[in-house]
Amino acid sequence: MLEGPATVVGPTGKEYLFDLRMRVPAAFPNRDAHPGVTVLDKPRILRFGSECHIGTNGDICVQMEPAYELDYERDGLGGFFQQVLIHLRRALIYALTGKYPGPSYGHAEDGKKEFRSELVAKLPMALRRYVQPGLRLPPDRQWCPCGGERRFKDCHKATVKAAQAAWVASGGPRRPPFRKKK
């Protein structure tokens, strides 16, 4: 467990002091071992509540690492803590302006479903089905199914593979809900 102060710079350049506690599971940096963060003390302007993704008990909702493309093994605790600071800055902006900047997903499973829907919606229609785990990707040398005049490996292969990994990491079902109906 780590505990201590963190200074977050608000949108006007003013500094705000938070007192945080980070719980790091023994299995970290395993992808399923998310650290937990609790705000012990906060600036007066910040109210806890679901609209700023900080619970009434002070727990911060930042456990959707695929939304930030955070790789615990590569980025470690420093990368995770960077996301916590970004999240706290967004909460400050929300407290000051009434508008939450950046992606705003629901909590728990609702947020994961929203993230997966957004992830799939970014892909061209012809590639959406390849997000499904276990579905074989087109061969590298085949023309990309998106209709572009490039080979799949040079066009959308990296994007589709990243979407597959994020889908699996966010706990997506084996079959995405966007299949064509018969």
Q: How do residues 108-165 score in pLDDT, each as one tens digit?
A: 667 777 777 877 888 888 998 888 777 889 999 999 999 888 999 999 998 888 888 7
Same domain for 15 and 92?
yes
Residue 180 domain-assigned (yes or no): no
User: Beta strands of 50-172 (E only): which ranges?
Assistant: none
Residue 75 confidence (pLDDT) above 50? yes
Task: List, in sequence order, every residue forming a beta bridge with 19; answer none if it has no partner.
Answer: 5, 41
Residue 39 domain-assigned (yes or no): yes
User: How far from each other are the two terminal CA atoms of the chain, in whole angstroms?
Assistant: 52
Same domain for 85 and 134?
no
Residue 45 domain-assigned (yes or no): yes
Residue 181 confidence (pLDDT) above 60? no
* Helix (H) or strand (E) segment spanning residue 89: helix 72-97
Percent of the residues in the chain that have a pLDDT greater than 70, as a whole number: 78
State how far the Cα of 146 lies from the Cα of 166, in Å rounded to an integer. 20
Query: Rounded to two decimals, what is the model's pTM?
Result: 0.59
Same domain for 32 and 88?
yes
Residue 81 confidence (pLDDT) above 50? yes
- Pick from 46-50, 97-101, 161-165, 172-176: least confident: 172-176
Find out whether 92 and 102 touch, Cβ atoms under 8 Å.
no
Q: How many domains does the chain have?
A: 2
Same domain for 7 and 89?
yes
Domain end point (choices 52, 74, 97): 97
- Pick from 39-53, 56-70, 82-96: least confident: 56-70
Domain end point (choices 75, 97, 119): 97
Cα-Cα-Cα-Cα torsion 152, 155, 157, 161, nearest 10 degrees, comes to -160
